[in-house]
Each structure stands twice: as C-alpha cells, then as structure tokens.
Copies of this chain bind each other. A is one copy, B any other.
C-alpha cells in the first residue's frame, strides 16, 4: 500500500455529537464535557414557545462560546398542547417547593427534544447525543431519570437508519448522577462562566433570574453547597 492510500478516516477523526442546549447551567457543562471527551459538538436548542425565552439567546451564545461548530434552533409549538406552567401564561410558576411532579413539568418535553436531536444526528451522521438531564437535584420530572435515558437509547437504535444499519447510537447523560454542587465544580474546572447561563423559569428579557422558582432554588443551593460565589444576575 502506497502512502497515497493512507487517507485519514474522517469518520473516526470527526466524531460528531448532537448536544441539547437550553441556555442553563447543566447543558453548558454537558457541552463542555462532550468536547473534552473528543466529540465535535453540534448544539441544538428547541424553541417550544417557553415563557423564559431569554434562555434561547443564552443557549446560542454559550454553545458557540464553548466550541460548538454550529447552533441550530428548531421551533416546535408545545404551547398549543398546553398543560404546563412553562408554556401557559395563565398558570403561575410556583415559588415554593411542592410534592410530586410540579406544574412546571412540560408533558413529554425531553422525549420530544431528544427525538428532534435524533433526527438531526441522523442527518449529520452523528452517533452520539448528549443531554444535561440530572436525577439528583432535580424537580422530580419523570423524563430526567436513568430509566428514561436507557429507554430512549433503546428506542433510538430501532427507530433509525443509523441504529438499524450502523454501529448504534448512544445517549450520554454525563450529569445524571451529579449533585448541583458537583455540576458547579465541574463547570468551574471546565472554565465555564455561569454568569452567562440562564436557568430561571421566568427570566426577564435580559436573562436576569427571579431567585424563587424551582430552577433558581436548585441552582442557588448548588453554589452554596459547592462553596462558590453565585454569579447569577437576579432582577
């Protein structure tokens, strides 16, 4: 074999991954981890007509700042389905802890977002998907648990051309077993500026947080537990 035949295997050299990014802290850390693990990240946000739209701007800026080669935002109108305080203007975002699955739960949201990520992964030839779901300091949503991630991976491998004809698809949820404090420390190690991430369910147009919703309370407790100054901008 001559030297001329030794073309590099681009499929190995270019391990593409689709990373779901929301603009929040968890998905920023997830994207940075995907890059650290050698993947070329393609960032995907879903505009589901959420009330906290500032997160979509944060998602784009953070994704590109953290090294995504592309950021795509796909609109899907979940507001038209109703049933969640995150998409219904006539349902208030709770400011106190609740028991059970809270009304900020958006029916099937993570299933829908991963499904669209799966579609883009097929088009890109990516076999790896990353999601920032977390089952420790979370709000009790069913679609944030390890059983959900495993079931989605099983589905992905029978649902797609890549799963059926190729080497198989993997769903990575690197934060799933981390506490919020762990995520803060991991983010600092990776050089993430959390001041530019937006977690609040009712962030204002400038991306400033309310400090009292579930997402704010979990995030703020994470900084306290990690012993790190909280850089969040509150309104």
Chain A residues with CB under 8 Å of chain B are 72, 74-78, 80-83, 100-101, 105-112, 115-116, 118-123, 142-143, 145, 147-148, 151-152, 154-156, 158-161, 163-165
Contacts and interface: CB of A to CB of B under 8 A. Distances in A.
A26 to B, nearest CB: 18
Nearest to A119: B108
Contacts of A147: 158
A100 B158 CA distance: 15
A36 to B, nearest CB: 26
A173 to B, nearest CB: 14
Contacts of A107: 118-123, 160-161
A165 B101 contact: yes
Contacts of A123: 81-83, 107
B111 A159 contact: yes
22 contacts: A72-B80, A74-B76, A75-B77, A81-B116, A83-B122, A105-B161, A106-B119, A107-B122, A108-B119, A108-B122, A109-B119, A111-B115, A111-B118, A142-B163, A147-B158, A148-B155, A148-B158, A151-B155, A151-B159, A152-B155, A152-B159, A154-B155
Which of A77, A119, A123 has the largest count of B CB atoms less than 10 A from its CB? A119
Given A74-B81, A142-B163, A160-B142, A116 B112 contact: yes
A168 to B, nearest CB: 13
A54 to B, nearest CB: 21
Contacts of A160: 107-108, 111, 142-143
B74 A80 contact: yes
A111 B142 contact: no
Nearest to A113: B115
A85 B234 CA distance: 47
Given A78-B116, A152-B155, 6 more contacts: A83-B122, A83-B123, A107-B161, A111-B156, A112-B116, A142-B164
A45 B163 CA distance: 26
B159 A110 contact: yes
A227 to B, nearest CB: 35
Contacts of A155: 111, 148, 151-152, 154-155
